[in-house]
Structure 1
Amino acid sequence: MIRFETGDLGEFPPGLEKQIRSEPYRNVTVGACRTREGPGFARYKIALVFF
């Protein structure tokens, strides 16, 4: 399982793509929700579960 927060859904955190590619996963489930931040700013919590 990998969890992170981001304000830009178009970019992975540094090193995340390398970590994902380094393991022989066959499936992934992704969940996301918006956090409660101040007006005008959006942040998202992302969870990836590999199996």
Structure 2
Amino acid sequence: MSETPNDPAGTTHQFQNFAAQRPAEKPKPVNVGLIVGAVVGVALLAVVVIAVVRML
């Protein structure tokens, strides 16, 4: 019977290559709540400015 040679140097080298790899970065999801909140805030500010200008 022949046994498969166990080369610890090769295994260590393969592990070091694996450890050195950076994981694939996933794109960050768009924060819809933040965008909607900003739009609502700008719209509210515009309504307040228009109301103040009409009072003058």
TM-score, normalised to structure 1, is 0.23
- Kindly name which structure, 1 or 2, has the bigger radius of gyration based on alpha carbons: 2
TM-score, normalised to structure 2, is 0.21
Larger % of strand: which? 1
